[in-house]
Amino acid sequence: MFTLGVDIGSTTSKAVILKDGLEILATSLIKAGTGTDGPGRAIEAVLAEGNLRPEEIASVYATGYGRKLLKNANGEMSELSCHARGVHHLLPEVRTIIDIGGQDAKVLSLGTDGRMTEFLMNDKCAAGTGRFLDVMAGILQLRIEDLEKQADLSKQIVKISSTCTVFAESEVISQLANGVEIPDLVAGICQSVASRVAALAKRVGVKETVCMSGGVAKNGGVRKAMEQELGLNITYSPMAQLMGALGAALYAYDKS
């Protein structure tokens, strides 16, 4: 039996097809989120990769900010529960998940059975989210995927003191005007995200093993900065950005 999970985020759409609630058959990721044709394209792509027709899917669950907009879904769950479920499926030893997406940062606490017992989210502000990194990459004329390489080249981190995206933007521009090295600035930007989200994690109470999920987890610069902030190793899966969709596919399997 095949089930489909679709995670419609603020900037990307992700889809995962599961076989019998266990095996990941196909995945897709489209850089277009809620309110665009991204979800439809993500579904088409995942079906093509899995070589399946829509009618072969037993159940579809949606998650993410656009979860209520997916037509023909059999159900929807919050991205909180879906990330918890997805991560637990692949990394059962994880007790704390730090999920940073396009416009949200979340810290989830998991019980030994993988159930989410507690969560905290960022306040109504883009600081500490993927959107913050997007804006900063834009100012520096870098691609988002190049931030990690740049941060690795840093010799001396330039601290970004503003927590607000708008203020941080002018701070970065001022630093550029002062002639600071781009890699040092990028490392400072990654640290800024990490320190803000680490504060959320400390409020929940960090229990090992800690894992990062969501799109920002792909950025090694932020992961490294987070490890420094929390003083522990962060577990990472290449599936980080697809954990929500995977969780949704698992819920779809439960309900099918």
The DSSP 8-state label assigned to residue 141 in this structure reads: T
Q: What CA dihedral angle connects 117, 86, 135 and 189, to 10 degrees?
A: 70
Q: Binder to another protein among 17, 25, 29, 85 (CB under 8 A)?
A: 85
Query: Cβ 111 to another protein, closest distance in Å?
Result: 9
**107 binds another protein, rule: CB under 8 A:** no
Q: Binder to another protein among 48, 203, 228, 233 (CB under 8 A)?
A: 203
**79 binds another protein, rule: CB under 8 A:** yes
Q: Binder to another protein among 78, 162, 209, 256 (CB under 8 A)?
A: 78
Size of interface with another protein, in residues (CB under 8 A) = 21
Sheet containing 105-110: order of strands: 116-121, 105-110, 96-100, 210-213, 234-236
Vertex 28: Cα angle to 23 and 31 (nearest 5): 155
**123 binds another protein, rule: CB under 8 A:** yes
Phi and psi, residue 195, nearest 5°: -70, -35
Q: In the structure encoding, which two tokens stand for residue 141, read together?
A: 């004329």
In the complex with another protein, the residue whose CB is nearer, 50 or 102, is 102
Quick check: 37 and 19 in contact, CB under 8 A? Answer: no
**81 binds another protein, rule: CB under 8 A:** yes
Query: Cβ 87 to another protein, closest distance in Å?
Result: 13
Query: Cβ 132 to another protein, closest distance in Å?
Result: 16
